Amino acid sequence: MKIRLENLTKRFPNRGKKARGEMTAVENLTFEIPDGTLVGLLGPSGCGKTTTLNMICGLEKPTSGQIFFGEEDVTALPPELRGVGMVFQNYALYPHLTVLQNILFPLENLKGEARPSREEMRRRALETAALVQIEELLDRRPKELSGGQQQRVAIARALVKMPRVLLLDEPLSNLDARLRLQTREEICKIQKKTGITTLFVTHDQEEAMSISDRIVVMKGGVLMQEGAPQQVYDDPASLFVSKFLGTPPINVFTGEVRQGKLLLDDQPVLDTPGVSDRAVWVGVRPEGFLPQADGPVQCALTRVEVLGRDVSIVCTHPASQNGAVRAIIRSEQEVDASAAQVRFALRPDKVFLFDRDSEVRIPVAGTGREAGQ
Amino acid sequence: MNQKKAWLYLLPSLVLLGAFLVYPLIDVFIYSLEEGFNFASQTYFGVGTYNYQYVLHDPYFLQALKNTFILVIITVPVSTGLALVISTGLSSIRPLRQLYQTVYFLPYVTNTLAVGLVFMVLFQKTEYTDGLVNLVLAWFGQGPVDFINGPYWAKMFVLCFYTVWVVMPFKILVLTSALASVNPDYYKAARVDGTSRLRTFTRITLPMIAPMLVYLVITGFIGAFKAYSDAVALFGTDLNAAGMNTIVGYVYDMLYGSSGGYPSYASAAAILLFVIVLTITCINLLVSRRQHWT
């Protein structure tokens, strides 16, 4: 089921004593989730992603705008008529019911024609339990399960109604690091198996990048960029998006474009054809540095971290905005760890220019983004 | 070393509990078995179950037993049920919630005897006035009933009404906070699944606050079994004459009342009450043992 949001806006009345008025949680949000995809809704805390999810689910009414499932306008429908399954951040499993009873719960709510027989309910519950591999836990209570198992039960409970859309709110944030890796693959697998259109909210860019077919980046209630993870990573529309995606994070420098050349600390480092003279923010991905004896970027070497597959070079540069500069190079490339200086050339496709004021991407002819949004 | 320290820390409470709880309890038990105890000379004839036999054949005790059981069986379910209804209502309204909560809690901080007096004035029928309640009854064409000095059922009704009114605020307070502590995510999950309000209440809310309900029922039983001051506030100190005595009232009368001076009978009655309360509490706990998920 394709999901389409059109100019979705949500304002909350401000409950503060001092500042009356309204707080805008989501503003003019428009995007589309293609049928059968797994989409990560990504953004820092308080950016309105959970509000967006709640509106899609039907738990919150939008102030304005519309939500479409396929061609059907579901904006005014209550959650149970939308055909959504929701997994809450804390799973919200009913503690007094067993796993099986929890999974059966949504089916037992069905009335009239839609209500399956007892055996049919049980068959579907068992089928869903098998899908998320919790068959042997059916008689336990949520308290007796690990975090990962509870997560699976919550997913099973959301899926048992065969919803058109599956929504997950921060599905991995309550799990420890090892389980997180495992569970996110699990979610990906379940989504592929069922083919159900899935939207999940996360503040962890790695989580979103790793399993999503598409990601939607939000900030302050506003859509920043959407697209396939690799595409958004390779072609960020703004400084915020470029900083938000990628580990280690992108290196940001203050720079200047003069006569078609990018200057860092007054040293020309790269040709930037088609860019008028101006002050810019320069974002360089860690993998955008190439060690080169006569490279134009000169950094003072702090230390070299050997990671096996890669080597991470930590150094400083006068124009750097985030303290240390971190470059990741392949381990075959040799760097003298005892040297005081290290020189790099830059890969043009890994260097992004942003306007100093608006922080919007500046297109550079011949690399990546031809027309910045 | 640590063991000794622990005992040292426990000592004050152990001494106090021992002196004022355990010792009296044992003493009461001994008293109840001493036959023909003379208060003045502190002597007795022998040891046996005569005191119990006497108490169990005393019509006043049987009346008190009957009154207490009726009181317990009516007021505990009614007050708990009403409190549940009111606190559910309270937690579902937003405007003026604080005000309502205060209003419902007021009876808790008012004095039992003062409230009893007010109830008496409301219900009593005297030569000068029929009282407010009878005034209202007259509107519906019902004859005046003397609730304070009249028929047994009328007096029992007032006593139950009064008891429910007095114990409810605390139950409302406990249940409102229990309801507030239910994670709202459960309700959201229920909404997403299209759970009806009734089903949400019976399948989610009730089990969630069940531990608090069990607590209220158990303390309610114990409290109602120990009722005494309520009856005094409504019907005066001569409860036997009014036929409205309770077990605790009977114990008091045996000790200090106009027919008092019989600590052995009082002790036997007290032990009987203790056994009854213990039995009921054990049954309550056994019944509620099912909720092992908490």
Q: Does residue A282 have a pLDDT over 90?
A: yes
CB contacts < 8 A, A to B, total 60
* Helix pair B152-180, B112-123: axis angle to 10 deg: 130
Three-state DSSP state, A224: strand
Residue A185, both tokens: 């693959």
- What's the pLDDT tens digit per position in B98-117? 888 888 888 888 887 888 88
**Pair A88, A169: CB distance under 8 Å:** yes
pLDDT band (50, 70, 90) for residue A16: low
Q: In this structure, what DSSP letter does residue A276 have?
A: -
Q: What is the pLDDT of residue A237?
A: 94
Q: What is the pLDDT of residue B92?
A: 84
| Nearest-by-Cβ selection for A141 from B183, B199, B293 | B293
- Report the CATH number of the A3-239 domain: 3.40.50.300
Residue B264, both tokens: 């052995």
Chain B nearest CA to A312, separation (Å): 44
Q: What is the pLDDT of residue A224?
A: 93
CA distance A165 to A191: 11
Chain A within 8 Å of B94 (Cβ-Cβ)?
A: no
Nearest-Cα residue of chain B relative to residue A168: B189
Partnered with residue A360 across adjacent β-strands are A238
Q: Does residue A19 have a pLDDT over 70?
A: no
- Cβ neighbours of residue A241 closer than 8 Å, sequence gap 6 or more: A217, A224, A225, A232
> In the predicted model, what is the mean pLDDT of residues A71-87?
92
Residues of B in contact with A103 (CB under 8 A): none
Q: What is the CA radius of gyration of chain A?
A: 25
CA distance A264 to A298: 10
Say which residue the tokens 């004095």 belong to.
Answer: B111
Q: What is the pLDDT of residue A372?
A: 38
Proportion of chain B above pLDDT 90, given as a percent: 44
> In the predicted model, what is the mean pLDDT of residues A90-110?
93
CA distance B1 to B5: 6
Q: What is the pLDDT of residue A369?
A: 47
> In the predicted model, what is the mean pLDDT of residues A92-97?
92
Chain A window 20-79: which residues touch B at a Cβ cutoff of 8 Å?
A: 57-59, 78-79
> In the predicted model, what is the mean pLDDT of residues A63-89?
92
> What is the pLDDT of chain A when averaged over all its residues?
89
Q: What is the pLDDT of residue A174?
A: 82
pLDDT band (50, 70, 90) for residue A371: very low
Residue A3, both tokens: 């999901």
pLDDT band (50, 70, 90) for residue B34: confident
CA distance B48 to B56: 14
Q: How far is CA B266 from CA A189, B68, B247, B271, in A?
A: 75, 16, 10, 9
> What is the pLDDT of chain B when averaged over all its residues?
87
**Record: contact A80-B203, CB cut-off 8 A:** no
Residue A358, both tokens: 């608006």
Chain A within 8 Å of B198 (Cβ-Cβ)?
A: no
Chain A window 134-193: which residues touch B at a Cβ cutoff of 8 Å?
A: 141, 143, 157, 161
Residue B88, both tokens: 């559910």
Proportion of chain A above pLDDT 90, given as a percent: 62
> In the predicted model, what is the mean pLDDT of residues B247-271?
87
Chain A window 85-124: which residues touch B at a Cβ cutoff of 8 Å?
A: 85-86, 88-90, 92, 94-96, 105-106, 109-110
CA distance B118 to B220: 23
Task: Establish how many alpha carbons lie within 13 A of residue A346's alpha carbon, considering only the half-sphere containing its beta carbon.
Answer: 25
Residue A308, both tokens: 């096996």
Residues of A in contact with B293 (CB under 8 A): 95-96, 141, 143
- What's the pLDDT tens digit per position in A181-240? 888 888 999 999 999 999 999 998 988 998 899 999 999 999 999 999 999 999 999 999
- Residue of B187, B192, B292 to mutate, testing the A interface (most A Cβ within 10 Å of its Cβ): B192
Q: How far is CA A61 from CA A49, A77, A82, A165, B187, in A?
A: 15, 9, 13, 18, 16
Q: How far is CA B187 from CA A72, A88, B128, B199, B285, in A?
A: 26, 11, 56, 11, 29
pLDDT band (50, 70, 90) for residue B292: low
CB atoms within 10 A of CB B121: 14
Residue A1, both tokens: 């089921």
CA distance A368 to A41: 24
Task: Establish how many alpha carbons lie within 13 A of residue B2's alpha carbon, considering only the half-sphere containing its beta carbon.
Answer: 0
**Record: contact B188-A96, CB cut-off 8 A:** no
Partnered with residue A22 across adjacent β-strands are A13
**Record: contact A109-B193, CB cut-off 8 A:** yes
**Record: contact B183-A90, CB cut-off 8 A:** yes
Proportion of chain B above pLDDT 70, given as a percent: 98
**Residue A24: which of A57, A47, A4, A44 has the closest Cα?**
A47
- Cβ neighbours of residue A87 closer than 8 Å, sequence gap 6 or more: A151, A154, A155, A158, A166, A167, A168, A169, A171
* Helix pair B50-57, B263-288: axis angle to 10 deg: 80
Residues of B in contact with A109 (CB under 8 A): 193-196, 199
A109-115 long-range Cβ contacts below 8 angstroms, 24+ apart:
A109/A80, A109/B193, A109/B194, A109/B195, A109/B196, A109/B199, A110/A161, A110/B194
Amino acid found at B226: K
Partnered with residue A199 across adjacent β-strands are A39, A167
Amino acid found at B137: L
Pick the more confident residue, A43 or B144. Answer: A43
> In the predicted model, what is the mean pLDDT of residues A118-128?
93
| N-term to C-term CA, chain B | 36
Q: Residue A182: enclosing H or E segment and its boundaries?
A: helix A177-194
Q: Does residue A273 have a pLDDT over 50?
A: yes
**Record: contact B186-A94, CB cut-off 8 A:** yes
Chain A window 3-22: which residues touch B at a Cβ cutoff of 8 Å?
A: none
**Residue A327: which of A363, A356, A362, A298 has the closest Cα?**
A298
Overall pTM surpassing 0.90 (yes/no) = no
- What's the pLDDT tens digit per position in A139-194? 999 999 988 899 999 999 999 999 999 999 998 888 888 888 888 888 999 999 99
Which of A86-100, A241-255, B245-259 has the lowest average pLDDT? B245-259
Q: What is the pLDDT of residue A250?
A: 94
Domain boundaries of chain A, sorted by first residue: 3-239, 249-362
Q: What is the pLDDT of residue B95?
A: 78
Q: What is the pLDDT of residue A126?
A: 94
Q: What is the CA radius of gyration of chain B?
A: 24
Pick the more confident residue, A88 or B239. Answer: A88
Residue A5, both tokens: 């949001």
Residues of A in contact with B183 (CB under 8 A): 90, 92
Chain A nearest CA to B191, separation (Å): 7
**Pair A64, A7: CB distance under 8 Å:** yes
Phi/psi of residue A237, nearest 5 degrees: -85, -20
Nearest-Cα residue of chain A relative to residue B185: A92
**Record: contact A80-B193, CB cut-off 8 A:** yes
Residues of A in contact with B210 (CB under 8 A): 96
CA distance A163 to A27: 27
CA distance A210 to A359: 26
Of the ranges A195-199, A319-323, B44-48, the best mean pLDDT one = A195-199
